[in-house]
Amino acid sequence: MKLTLLSIFAILARCAAASQTLTGQWTCVDSGAYELCQNLWGEDNGTGSQNATLYSASGDSISWSTTYTWSGGQYDVKSYSSVNQLSANGMLLSDITSAPTSWDWEYQEISSDLVADVSYDIWVGTTPDDPGSNTTTFEIMIWVSTEGGAGPLGSQVASDISVGGYTWNLYEGPNTYWETISFVTTEGNLNNFSSDLKDFFDYLVANYGLSSEQYLQAVESGTEPFTGSATLYTSNFHVVVNI
């Protein structure tokens, strides 16, 4: 088939429409069940740049990437480009029957000095929404990757625990208004992660004082770079909260 100049422009237009790249300190785009956000909340702690690209979203699945280069402030997180499941909030933990999730991701580019994590950031509090506010009581992080010695807030409180089909070291520490608890993989990069978030909620209710009568405020998933350069590509991310 011979391509005319007009048909080439049409193909390029369709490709452009199929993806959307976000730049700037705080920009978001909704697609399907998700919101993708370019959140450079810690950029003042170093020097660099970052963008996030939405590729596709269908049903409860989304594909996206983020590319960044950061230097300086080696112990400070620079950003959290992430996706937020728009309907994964407002329910009591006691009402959740399951929360299946899967995440297929890879580093397409990675510098030798990269310090970063790939993680879920889950918010629980006394109100149905408004995560990261004075109504938040717990921030639950699930680190499916840690590079270059990146470590979570707080101190280690448990080691080699089995939750959700994987093994973790557990960290805990106070944050602004809430307690941050981080499950950090002991199995290396979990590039094809599949689990049930309810297992993590149940573990914290049984062992760390999380109340099942509080609300799930948000389920976010993304990456926190400290220093270095990388392109993180998610071919498929999926989470659903069932009640």
Tell me which of 139, 147, 179, 220 is the catalytic residue.
Answer: 139
Q: Is 43 a catalytic residue?
A: no
Tokens of 106: 């890879």
- Judge contact between 31 and 53, C-beta under 8 A: no
- Judge contact between 154 and 171, C-beta under 8 A: yes
Q: Is 224 a catalytic residue?
A: yes
Tokens of 216: 């799930």
Tell me which of 43, 147, 179, 224 is the catalytic residue.
Answer: 224
Place of tokens 């400070």: 76
Q: Indicate left, alpha or beta for 149 from its phi (over 0: left) and psi (-120 to 50: alpha).
A: left
Supply the residues annotated as catalytic.
Answer: 139, 224
